[in-house]
Amino acid sequence: MNQYDVTVIGSGPGGYVAAIRCAQLGLKTALIEKYPTLGGTCLNVGCIPSKALLDSSEHYHNAHSVFAEHGIGLDNLTVDMNRMIDRKAGVVKANVDGIAYLMKKNKIDVLQGVGAFVDKNHLSITPTGGGEAQQIETKNVIIATGSKPTVLPFIAQDKQRIITSTEALNIREVPKHMIVIGGGVIGLEMASVYARLGAKVSVVEFLDSLIPTMDRGLGKELKRVLGKIGIEFFLSHKVTGATREGDTVTVTALNPKGEEVKFEGDYCLVAVGRVPYTAGLNLEAAGVAMEERGRIKVDEHMQTNVPGIYAIGDVIRGAMLAHKAEEEGVFVAETIVGQKPHINYLLIPGVVYTWPEVAGVGYTEEQLKEQGKAYKIGSFPFKASGRARASGDTDGFVKVLADKTTDEILGVHMIGPRIADLIAEAVTAMEFRASAEDVARMSHSHPTYAEAMKEACLAATENRAIHM
């Protein structure tokens, strides 16, 4: 029987990063994955393929709607969905092949099959395609099995016309009318892909705002901007059902007045969040305790109630983000060897990869109001940015929230061009507990989108913005 210092179950960003860090620290490491490719949801049917399609659809949208103002004329513009989907598949393959290479480089044993506990120190791995299970012995286990799309019990998803985000990444035609249930990150990213390609898109959201976990001002601006590419929004609508007849899907919902309304389209995407995935782990055999919403209960060291068994990423509390899982994977690996790592969950940024992009880190304005915290705001619109004007990306703003007394940056919320990258400056500043004036006094290259961060910090520092 093979023996390991650490066995990681699940090869998504949390799992494979944990395995690599364990190997770097000199631990004999195994990684169990039930699918034939590594990388989990993120690399196979999540972050990576969705970004590939977002990029392709943005190119088409620009060619269709923006090139003319740059003096570039095109005739007979077409969308080849087969080629677009095939390119996305190529991007995914390159990434998952890269993870397989990293496993070999770090001498990590990859065991293909479904991992389950026999007891706290023994795991069985049953080949996914059937066959005899093998057993291994391990001192430590890191559970990193991720999440799956939430299913609405009153909607039968046939995965052809009534679909989840997984199937939405493989549609080989431009929908005539896509109805998206859910105005969160996944729903809006997929909505923007198909709206840019020419589909009519309707987003039906139960709450009264989009991206409800982020600063409210971001959702308001994103609704305005996405409305310009034709996406229709129906907020405060409670979906009651979705049925399919042939190629037609009918979604029923109650509007804010409680009246029933119907939406007819050829596709319905259900994007109402994700739930932890622990099926098949046989956690009871190891005595691992659970908590609400199907999550695994862990302490501040990400250890379960069973010593030596840890859990990270989407199966535990906190935001379901790939980079959060990665940080936790490193944290657990270093904890196992006796180091004292640290994660500040407040400073893990959230990003929406629509165009314009959206990101936030730290406290939202709503949270500061709830706390009764005295704060000041500095805001700078991209329409006042020379770089944004040059590229035609003038929608959005950067908003900085700083402590009224100490000037320490408490939160940064952005919507605009290249925001997914720009938010890293805010994270860096806040990790070092910078004041708004600290950032305002740092030189930023001109002309760049990043100047908007400097200007917002200037605005928070005695209203000193230069270009507004």
The stretches of 130-247 forming alpha helices (DSSP H) are 165-168, 185-196, 216-227
Q: How far apart are CA 308 and CA 398, in angstroms?
A: 44
Q: How many CB atoms lie within 10 A of CB 154?
A: 9
SS3 state of residue 408: strand
Please measure the distance between the N-terminal and C-terminal CA atoms of the chain and give it in whole angstroms. Answer: 69
Phi, psi of 317 (to 5 degrees): -65, 160
- CA separation, residue 360 to residues 93, 217, 322, 403 (Å): 30, 11, 15, 17
Tokens of 400: 């900085």
* Cross-strand partners of 32: 9, 111
- Out of 70, 301, 446, 467, the active site residue is 446
Q: How many CB atoms lie within 10 A of CB 300?
A: 6
Amino acid at 279: A
Q: How far apart are CA 265 and CA 161, in angstroms?
A: 9
Q: Which of 455, 458, 436 is nearest to 446 (CA)?
A: 455
Q: How far apart are CA 211 and CA 142, in angstroms?
A: 31
**E strands of 45-133, at which residues?**
109-112, 114-119, 122-126
Active site residue 444: no
Length of the chain: 468
Residues 6+ apart with CB under 8 A from 432: none
* Cross-strand partners of 415: 358, 397
Phi, psi of 343 (to 5 degrees): -125, 130
Say if CB 192 and CB 54 are below 8 A apart: yes
Phi, psi of 459 (to 5 degrees): -65, -35
SS3 state of residue 290: strand
Q: Residues with catalytic annotation?
A: 446
